[in-house]
């Protein structure tokens, strides 16, 4: 078995999401958008696929690094391929990102799953076939009836409970919202949601990612009074000492790091430093499923839960093969968007949720994305 080709198809689709000047997603007018599908082919014609943002799999990255490492290798030798790509990141002058590693590695898992006729979560070794989701809101905005006020969050939280969610995470207001950041507004939204859902629904906050220590401490103490379940990324994660200080001063579990580079190395340092009470990984944050499994098992070895960041088939797979994590992050959600709608380039959502708030794993061979190849091939750019 040898890899013979790596290809990328870029295709158009209609999107109703836009990004603001700080990169946060919000609802927007329907517009033409681009997406990519990376495909790895081996010498018997088997294929593995992974969807990707276009910029992550640009031709110079595929030609300059990925093809060079992968062609001729056994597609089942994921660890060696991943180590060789990861080693090359340093010499790539920052071009080869963890996200690119993740896309390539997940396409290799997809190929293995398709070849063996197994969903990847069964191939790794399943812990469960359905995972409870928390509803993860988009960041706040200034849209009338959107997520502009604490009352908006409260109303939307009630709707989320009606949809079946049994836990909710708020992303509150961040720049460029005109009045953000403001920890007092965060507390008002958190209090309004607690009031709306009652005392028994687990709630989490992912606040502005750049508060000072004193603002972060004040906000954390208010969350404790409101019985919140975890406190996420209120400060810049580059300052691990600030998180160790925060965790030492609060009872509410502090979770992280989410976006700090360094893969499993960084997560190990945070656990050792006491900078988190819950660890965090996400396939796109740390370079794929393999490195995420290392983090999940590292946390488990310390008796610590590791909650997976972000949605999609790869992250759902992680939540299905771990004991030490409670939820799948389903989102990002907004009252103006229908998250359950199936994108044109898929035949089904990878993360269908039932009325009791459980997301069911796909039984299809591979990673779990039921890709609409006909749509993609008819909409190539
Ligand atoms: O800033 C944002 O838009 C969100 O926080 C986003 O990064 C989201 O992926 C997240 O942090 N989820 O936990
Ligand atoms: Mg987050």
- Please tell me the pTM assigned to this model: 0.98
Residue nearest to atom 1 of ligand 1 (CA): 24
Nearby residues for ligand 2 (ion, Cβ within 5 Å): 206, 258
For ligand 1, say whether the CB of 206 is within 6 Å of any of its atoms: yes
For ligand 1, say whether the CB of 139 is within 6 Å of any of its atoms: yes
What gap in Å lies between CA 86 and CA 80, rounded to an integer?
10
281-288 average pLDDT score: 98
42-95: pLDDT as tens digits: 999 999 999 999 999 999 999 999 999 999 999 999 999 999 999 999 999 989
Residue nearest to atom 7 of ligand 1 (CA): 24
Tokens 């409970």, located at residue: 161
115-128: pLDDT as tens digits: 999 999 999 999 99
Ligand 2 centroid–CA 1 distance in Å is 39
287-310 average pLDDT score: 98
The pLDDT-based confidence of 160 (bands split at 50, 70, 90) is very high
Ligand 2 centroid–CA 237 distance in Å is 11
Ligand 1 centroid–CA 368 distance in Å is 23
What gap in Å lies between CA 59 and CA 76, rounded to an integer?
24
pLDDT recorded at residue 117: 98
82-91: pLDDT as tens digits: 999 999 999 9
pLDDT recorded at residue 20: 98
242-257: pLDDT as tens digits: 999 999 999 999 999 9
pLDDT recorded at residue 300: 98
Residue nearest to atom 9 of ligand 1 (CA): 310
CA 323 to chain CA centroid, nearest Å = 18
Q: Does residue 204 contact residue 230 with C-beta atoms inside 8 Å?
A: yes
304-331 average pLDDT score: 98
């Amino acid at each position: 078995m040898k890899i013979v080709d790596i290809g990328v198809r870029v295709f158009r689709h209609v999107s109703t999401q836009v990004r603001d000047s700080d990169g946060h997603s919000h609802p927007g007018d329907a517009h033409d958008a681009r997406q990519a599908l990376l495909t790895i082919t081996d010498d018997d014609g088997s294929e593995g696929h992974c969807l990707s943002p276009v910029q992550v799999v640009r031709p110079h990255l595929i030609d300059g690094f990925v093809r060079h490492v992968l062609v001729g290798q056994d597609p089942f030798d994921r660890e060696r391929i991943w180590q060789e790509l990861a080693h090359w990141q340093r010499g790539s002058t920052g071009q080869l990102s963890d996200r690119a590693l993740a896309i390539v590695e997940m396409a290799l898992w997809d190929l293995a799953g398709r070849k063996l006729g197994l969903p990847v979560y069964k191939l790794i070794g399943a812990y469960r076939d359905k995972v409870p989701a928390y509803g993860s809101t988009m960041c706040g905005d200034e849209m009338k009836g959107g997520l502009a006020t604490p009352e908006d969050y409260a109303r939307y939280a009630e709707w989320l409970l009606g949809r079946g969610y049994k836990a909710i995470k708020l992303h509150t207001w961040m720049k460029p919202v005109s009045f953000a950041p403001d920890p007092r507004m965060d507390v008002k939204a958190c209090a309004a949601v607690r009031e709306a859902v009652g005392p028994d629904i687990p709630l989490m906050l992912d606040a502005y990612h750049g508060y000072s220590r004193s603002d972060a401490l004040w906000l954390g103490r208010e969350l404790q009074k409101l019985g919140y379940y975890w406190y996420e990324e209120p400060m810049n994660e580059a300052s691990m000492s600030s998180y160790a200080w925060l965790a030492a001063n609060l009872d509410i579990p502090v979770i992280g790091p989410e976006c700090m580079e360094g893969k499993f190395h960084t997560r190990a340092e945070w656990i050792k430093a006491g900078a988190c009470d819950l660890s965090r990984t996400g396939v796109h944050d740390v370079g794929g499923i393999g490195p995420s499994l290392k983090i999940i098992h590292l946390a488990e070895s310390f008796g610590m839960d590791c909650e997976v960041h972000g949605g999609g088939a790869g992250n759902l797979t992680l939540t299905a093969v771990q004991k030490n994590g409670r939820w799948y992050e389903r989102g990002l959600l907004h009252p103006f968007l229908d998250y359950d709608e199936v994108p044109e380039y898929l035949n089904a959502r990878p993360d269908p949720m039932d009325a009791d708030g459980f997301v069911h794993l796909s039984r299809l061979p591979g990673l779990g994305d039921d890709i609409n190849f006909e749509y993609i091939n008819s909409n190539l750019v």
